[in-house]
Amino acid sequence: LWQDAENRMLLVSILQKSSDQ
C-alpha cells in the first residue's frame, strides 16, 4: 500500500512536524 514515495515523504513530514513540537 505504501509503495508510493510521495506518500512516504508525506508521512515522514508529518512525523517530523509532530516530533518538532
- The pLDDT assigned to 16 comes to 94
Spatial distance between the Cα atoms of 1 and 13, rounded to a whole number of angstroms: 18
- How far from the centroid of its chain's Cα atoms is residue 8's Cα? 5
Q: What is the pLDDT of residues 1-21, one digit of tens each?
A: 557 888 899 999 999 998 877
- The pLDDT assigned to 2 comes to 58
CB within 8 A of 2, min separation 6: which ones?
Answer: 8, 11
DSSP 14: H
